[in-house]
């Protein structure tokens, strides 16, 4: 390489270095004043040659949460020269209120200018928010509630501009059961402006005493742009709005009410129906009784089974209880239906006692009683076909021909077969009812629907054990047992251990009862609460079924 060529190369390099750089980095936002539950659109533009890198956006995370970050490359030809630029669009959510700063960003040696943002407290008053195109209102129906009492949580998304792909995030509260009740859409005029509204309601059932914190949820949507392609409008900027956090005081149940009889509801009803409306029964023949219990503001799994009837004059063949949760405009309506076949076994009067269900009236804060009156039947002997007597029948002529004469032995034989067939029919009906009750292949879908509540109950038991609250822990274990063994709910810890066929757990339950109900001040009894919780969690009744909690929320799409 000669000297003149080297000088030419050096000259070109110096010219390029001396030439002004047309690349630049700039930042701009869609608004400089926002509320704490609103998002901010930041656009960072680099007007230089394409690069695979990006500015260091981690600087933003001290004051903002980066919801999304998208990159767009643009090319153009001007006077035969190619120009390129790169845009980064970031959706930011402020982490605090006050004056925040989007810092100066650096990329390829270029620096953008810092931007000051004012973040105000969110205003949840619809009238006050009517000047905004999108805002949210959050409300609860009470500031305090009893444990396991229903709390209604309502979110309303208001928007006056066209949106698409609207969705709401999932949320979870460790000490509460959550069920979505409804999703409604309607329009409303606020301060002279038309708004579309999406209203989502949830029913919450707190499972522990103290402060219940309801976290924020996130509504997400995209603006509908004016451009249209193939009959579909394209998506514009993404919008995110946060719901308001809420805190509720959860009160313990009144001390004079046992855990097994705790039913906090605004309305409880009992209804019964019979397979036969007659007040006369026949010995050996079954009649089916169905009792439906409904409780407004409770799930079906919270309704305790009815006590069994004690009467030596009958036999009972209960069917599997049917549980159902209905969504109403007042929340969850729990329905528990119990059917039992009753077979009287002796003649006379059969008296079924009145059924009473005590519950806590959450409206008037007092104990109420729902009642089914006493039922009395008359039980008669099984009917038989009447025998025909030749002497008592004037219509029979002993001198008639063989074709028309009545054969007394044939009549006795017919009566014998009629009685036999009746007895066989009764035996078949009773046998089918028994097999239906005990068929191991019968689906247990209703039991499975109870298991998510049983799993949450285990978390409550573990928390009470950690707090050394053994009395509350014992009550919770019995409630757990009632949810797992709904057909034969245990009335004692000893019975629960027998149902689980766990001798080691039975021993620990015995120690727990001794520690709680001992008459002296003996402190030598030690209960292994960790072993109890381990046995409960490993029991196949709750370990082999997937959880199906009601916290999975479907995306919301506008009509």
pLDDT of residue 236: 79
Residues of 450-489 as b/e, b for ≥16 C-beta within 10 angstroms?
A: bbbbbbbbbbbbbbbbeeeebebbbbbbbbbbbbbbbeeb
Find the helix packing angle between 529-538 and 445-466, rounded to 10°. 160
pLDDT in tens, 329-379: 889 999 999 999 999 988 999 999 999 999 999 999 999 999 999 999 999
pLDDT in tens, 113-144: 999 999 888 765 655 555 789 999 999 999 99
pLDDT in tens, 13-27: 444 444 344 678 899
What is the SS3 assignment for 201-252? EEEEEECCCEEEEECCCEEEEEEEEEEEECCEEEEEEEEEEECCCEEEEEEC
Most confident among 290-299, 408-417, 497-506 (mean pLDDT): 290-299
The token pair that represents 82 in the structure block: 């190619």
Q: Which residues contact 429 (CB under 8 A, 6 or more apart)?
A: 285, 286
Q: Is the pLDDT of residue 221 over 70?
A: yes
Q: Is the pLDDT of residue 269 over 70?
A: yes
CA angle 183, 185, 221 (to 5 degrees): 85
Split at pLDDT 50, 70, 90, the class of 409 is: very low
Q: Is the pLDDT of residue 450 over 70?
A: no
Domains by residue range for the chain, with CATH: 20-120 (2.60.40), 126-251 (2.60.40), 257-384 (2.60.40), 450-543 (no CATH)
In the beta sheet, which residues pair with residue 116?
101
As a whole number of angstroms, the distance between CA 478 and CA 143 comes to 29
Average pLDDT over residues 504-531: 73
Split at pLDDT 50, 70, 90, the class of 470 is: confident
pLDDT in tens, 223-254: 887 655 444 556 778 889 999 999 999 999 99
pLDDT in tens, 477-490: 888 888 888 777 77
Which pTM value belongs to this model? 0.56
Of the candidates 200, 198, 199, which has an alpha carbon nearest to the alpha carbon of residue 180?
Answer: 200
Average pLDDT over residues 486-504: 82
What distances in angstroms separate CA 209 from CA 252, 279, 352, 464, 472, one per listed residue?
6, 49, 40, 11, 11
**What is the chain's mean pLDDT, rounded?**
78
The token pair that represents 296 in the structure block: 């407004």
pLDDT of residue 485: 84
As a whole number of angstroms, the distance between CA 123 and CA 310 comes to 61
Average pLDDT over residues 458-463: 86
The token pair that represents 532 in the structure block: 């109890």
For the CA atoms of 525, 528, 533, 538, what is the dihedral angle to 10 degrees? Answer: -120
Distance between terminal CA atoms of the chain? 75
- Strand-pair category, 193-206 with 232-242: unpaired
Residue pair 102/26 in contact (Cβ under 8 Å)? The answer is no
């Amino acid at each position: 390489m000669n000297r003149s060529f080297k000088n030419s190369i050096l000259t070109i390099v110096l010219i390029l270095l001396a030439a002004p750089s047309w690349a630049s980095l700039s930042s701009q936002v869609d608004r400089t004043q926002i509320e704490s539950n609103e998002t901010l659109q930041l656009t960072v533009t680099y007007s230089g040659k394409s690069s695979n890198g990006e500015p260091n956006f981690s600087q933003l995370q001290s004051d903002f949460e980066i919801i999304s970050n998208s990159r767009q490359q643009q090319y153009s030809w001007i006077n035969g020269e190619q120009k390129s630029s790169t845009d980064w669009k970031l959706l930011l959510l402020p982490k605090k209120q006050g004056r925040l700063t989007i810092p100066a960003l650096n990329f390829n040696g270029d620096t953008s200018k810092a931007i000051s943002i004012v973040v105000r407290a969110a205003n949840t008053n619809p009238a006050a928010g009517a000047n905004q195109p999108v805002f949210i209102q959050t409300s609860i129906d009470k500031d305090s509630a009893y444990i396991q009492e229903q709390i209604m949580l309502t979110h309303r998304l208001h928007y006056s501009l066209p949106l698409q792909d609207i969705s709401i995030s999932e949320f979870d509260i460790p000490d509460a059961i959550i069920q979505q009740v409804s999703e409604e859409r309607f329009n409303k005029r606020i301060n002279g402006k038309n708004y579309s509204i999406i209203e989502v309601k949830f029913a919450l059932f707190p499972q522990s005493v103290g402060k219940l914190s309801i976290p924020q949820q996130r509504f997400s949507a995209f603006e509908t742009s004016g451009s249209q392609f193939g009959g579909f409008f394209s998506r514009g900027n993404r919008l995110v709005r946060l719901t308001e956090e809420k805190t509720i005081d959860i009160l313990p149940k009144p001390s004079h009410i046992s855990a097994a009889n705790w039913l906090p509801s605004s309305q409880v009803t009992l209804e019964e129906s019979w397979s036969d409306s007659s007040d006369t029964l026949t010995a050996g023949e079954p009649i089916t009784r169905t009792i439906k219990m409904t409780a407004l503001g409770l799930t079906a799994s919270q309704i305790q089974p009815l006590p069994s009837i004690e009467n030596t004059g009958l036999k009972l063949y209960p069917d599997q209880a049917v549980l159902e949760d209905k969504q109403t405009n007042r929340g969850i309506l729990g329905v528990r239906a119990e059917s039992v076949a009753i077979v009287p076994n002796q003649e006379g009067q059969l008296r079924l006692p009145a059924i009473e269900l005590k519950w806590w009236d959450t409206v008037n804060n007092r104990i109420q009683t729902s009642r089914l009156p006493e039922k009395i039947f008359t039980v008669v002997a099984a009917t038989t076909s009447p025998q025909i007597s030749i002497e008592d029948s004037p219509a029979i002529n002993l001198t008639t021909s063989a074709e028309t004469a009545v054969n007394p032995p044939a009549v006795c034989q017919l009566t014998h077969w009629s009685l036999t067939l009746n007895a066989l029919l009764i035996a078949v009906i009773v046998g089918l009812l028994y097999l239906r009750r005990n068929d191991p292949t019968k689906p247990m879908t209703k039991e499975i629907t109870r298991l998510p509540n049983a799993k949450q109950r285990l978390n409550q038991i573990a928390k009470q054990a950690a707090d050394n609250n053994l009395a509350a822990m014992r009550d919770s274990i019995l409630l757990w047992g009632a949810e797992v063994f709904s057909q034969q709910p245990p009335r004692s810890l000893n019975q629960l251990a027998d149902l689980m066929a766990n001798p080691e757990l039975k021993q620990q339950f015995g120690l727990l009862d001794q520690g709680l109900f001992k008459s002296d001040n003996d402190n030598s009894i030690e209960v292994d609460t960790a072993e109890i919780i381990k046995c409960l969690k490993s029991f196949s009744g709750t370990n082999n079924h997937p959880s199906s909690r009601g916290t999975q929320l479907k995306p919301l799409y506008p009509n």
